[in-house]
A and B are shown apart, each in its own frame.
Chain A
Amino acid sequence: MLKTYTYPKFAYVQPQEQKERVARRYPVVIVGAGPVGLAAAIDCRLHGIPVVLLDEDDTVSIGSRGVCYAKRALEILDRLGVGERVVQKGVSWNVGRTFFHEEEVFNFNLLPEPDHKRPGMINLQQYYLEQYLVERCVELGVDLRWKNRVVSVQRMSDQVRLTIETPDGTYGIEADWLIAADGAKSPIRKLMGLEVEGKIFHDRFLIADVVMKADFPAERWFWFHPPFHPGQSVLLHKQADNVWRIDFQLGWDADPEAEKKPEKVIPRIKAMLGDEREFELEWVSVYTFQCRRMQEFRHGRVLFVGDAAHQVSPFGARGANSGIQDADNLIWKLKLVMDGKAPEKLLDTYSSERVAAADENLMNSTRSTDFITPKSNTSRLFRNAVLTLAEHHAFGRALVNSGRLSVPAFLVESPLNTADEDEFAGRMVPGAPMDDAPVGLEDGGKGWLLDQIGGQGFQLLYFTDVAERLGDKLERLRELTVDAVPVEPVVVSEKAGRLDGARVLHDLMHLVAKRYDAREGSVYLLRPDQHVVARWRRFDAHKVRAAVARATCNI
């Protein structure tokens, strides 16, 4: 098979403490160097937390696997410092075509939202994402240990003890906090005897990475019941390096080993392309999937993230995308707890918030699955009726569910939010993931709101027409910066301006004020993970402090 990508082989180095035969204690140990574990490790380092990252393998993901990275994940990757590389290497697509039998039923143009930095999603093979994240980890001094496999977990009240197997034998390690990012089969979860509940879908899918030799449009094609693969669905998606991902639904009775053989796969692809366009196979796999999650994502000092905590169907790309959001939600909370600035129960809100997000993801991906692979005659009849109506009617097109684009959850039920007491329009409610918008920077350059916000601590957006007229309010705002949980004031000004002691963002297209329904004096309190947590029409330091206390479980 052809190779467009050379898999890196990361060097195994015997851990120092294994040589010295002493167990060392670390503040944070992460198990699993997939996209989620790597993202969590980078975020720890950005918060100044020393981190050990263990992985049983010594390379990146084999095969393309997760190929769609959605807007919210890209925004988080921007904060982690790899967003630009991912977007540069990835491919953008706008046009999607939906076919039913022989006919194209409709197509859509998924134009990026205007005046947002990142598009709805890009396509990129998972191995590239992992490679970039590994390189960023190395740059930030993550203690990455390849060929280190956890074989036992012992939970104590104040630490977690691990036994780890390497090519040189076993050794022990102690962790104040353990983050389990070890995937759907999570050995940590099994070693701890924890359950993960949900349902198995009785279906198999063949995925093939194919290198096209001829031009083929950068579009997403989805077939329901095509003549070349009757009764099933097929998806064609473009990735980087002219590699295309093809997904064939096979049904439960298919023999995975037989289906993977090139002599079986190649005729399928030829029938699909319908002509003599040349291609070569790069990678083939057959998968099944489950929709399930753990009851709780926090178990004392062990925190489960990504597929270890929850698994969804692949329709809508909610695996890696939601896992990266888990890390984004967790690390700032862990930092506050480690620093003694918030009680441990703040970590319970990692679980409750991400459980709510996981349930939304499970719901959406299960709905897509039920539409794509109907389980009864009636379900198939309705699916086919929707596809027939979709050709002529907008309402039918809106019901066609070939995978809803992965979008972040609105954490509206979170106990960390302070409920609105003032009237606001729009969707930037407490718990909302922040909308992006273009902003002018103090050096005269143009930037993006989400690049200027988030990461380290809480921030307060203060909206005004002219920054320089803040007067004594500026002093009141600046007092928040020396609180135990500091809040950085950021002034969003309709006119460009500068202030001593507070950053000023110029709302150059008036889109920040518009998207946040802000007027003179409106303030928004923001979490480090770029979620709105409270807002008022008028700044009141007492209210801000009370909201920060609520948002950190300090009440």
Chain B
Amino acid sequence: MSLTLTPNFSEPGKRYFRAFSPGDDFYEMLIDAHRDLDDEKSAMLNAQLILLLANHIGDLSVLREALARAREGAV
């Protein structure tokens, strides 16, 4: 499996009438999760989130590709 780079958000059983809705739903959840946290706590949340998601994905080839893409944009 390779890293999915096209829009891929959805929720089982939920019907979306607009293409932008599931991605916006996710983004709002993400920002809400950080509400009222200081920068240090936010960074801790992000780190844990990455570890949780990485374990969920599991496939090291996918994670390797994601890490490479993320590093490209950061440096």
Contact = CB atoms under 8 A, between A and B. Distances in A.
Interface of A: 364, 367, 370-371, 376-379, 382, 385-386, 388-389, 392-395, 398-399, 401, 404, 407, 410, 427, 432
Contacts of B17: 410, 427, 432
B4 interface: yes
Contacts of B34: 376, 378-379
A398 B39 contact: no
A376 B6 CA distance: 28
A394 B20 CA distance: 12
Contacts of A389: 69, 73
Given A364-B24, A404-B20, 4 more contacts: A379-B34, A392-B73, A394-B6, A398-B19
Interface string B5-37: 111100000000111100110011011001001
B73 A398 contact: no
Contact of B24 (A382, A394, A404): A404
A377 B34 CA distance: 10
Nearest to B74: A388
Contacts of A385: 73
A386 B26 CA distance: 13
Nearest to B18: A407
Nearest to A388: B73
B31 A370 contact: yes
B61 to A, nearest CB: 18
B15 to A, nearest CB: 8
A401 B34 CA distance: 19
Contact of B31 (A364, A379, A388, A395): A379
The listed residue with most A CB atoms (<10 A of its CB), out of B20, B28, B30, is: B20
Nearest to B27: A399
Contacts of B37: 378
Interface residues of B, number: 24
Interface of B is mostly: helix
22 contacts: A367-B28, A370-B28, A377-B42, A378-B46, A379-B31, A382-B27, A382-B30, A382-B31, A388-B73, A388-B74, A392-B73, A393-B5, A394-B5, A394-B6, A394-B7, A395-B4, A395-B8, A395-B23, A398-B23, A401-B24, A404-B20, A432-B17
A410 B4 CA distance: 30
Contact of A367 (B24, B69, B73): B24
B47 to A, nearest CB: 12
A410 to B, nearest CB: 5
**Shortest 6 CB-CB contacts between residues of A and residues of B:** A378-B42, A398-B7, A388-B73, A393-B5, A378-B34, A394-B6
Interface of A is mostly: helix
Interface of B: 4-8, 17-20, 23-24, 27-28, 30-31, 34, 37, 39, 42, 46, 69, 72-74
B24 A395 contact: no
A371 B6 CA distance: 20
A376 B39 CA distance: 9
Contacts of B46: 378
A407 B46 CA distance: 33
A363 to B, nearest CB: 8
Contacts of B69: 389, 392-393
A395 B30 contact: no
Contacts of A401: 20, 24, 27
Given A395-B5, A395-B7, A395-B8, A378 B39 contact: yes
Contacts of A392: 69, 72-73
Contacts of B74: 388
A192 B58 CA distance: 60
B27 A398 contact: no
A381 to B, nearest CB: 8
Nearest to A394: B6
A395 B3 CA distance: 11
Contacts of B39: 377-378
Contact of A399 (B4, B5, B23, B42): B23
Contacts of B19: 398
B42 A371 contact: no
Identify the interface centre among B18, B69, B74: most chain A CB within 10 Å of its CB.
B18
Contacts of A410: 17
Nearest to B34: A378
A436 to B, nearest CB: 16
B44 to A, nearest CB: 11
Contacts of B8: 395
A372 to B, nearest CB: 12
Nearest to B46: A378
Nearest to A427: B17
A525 to B, nearest CB: 20
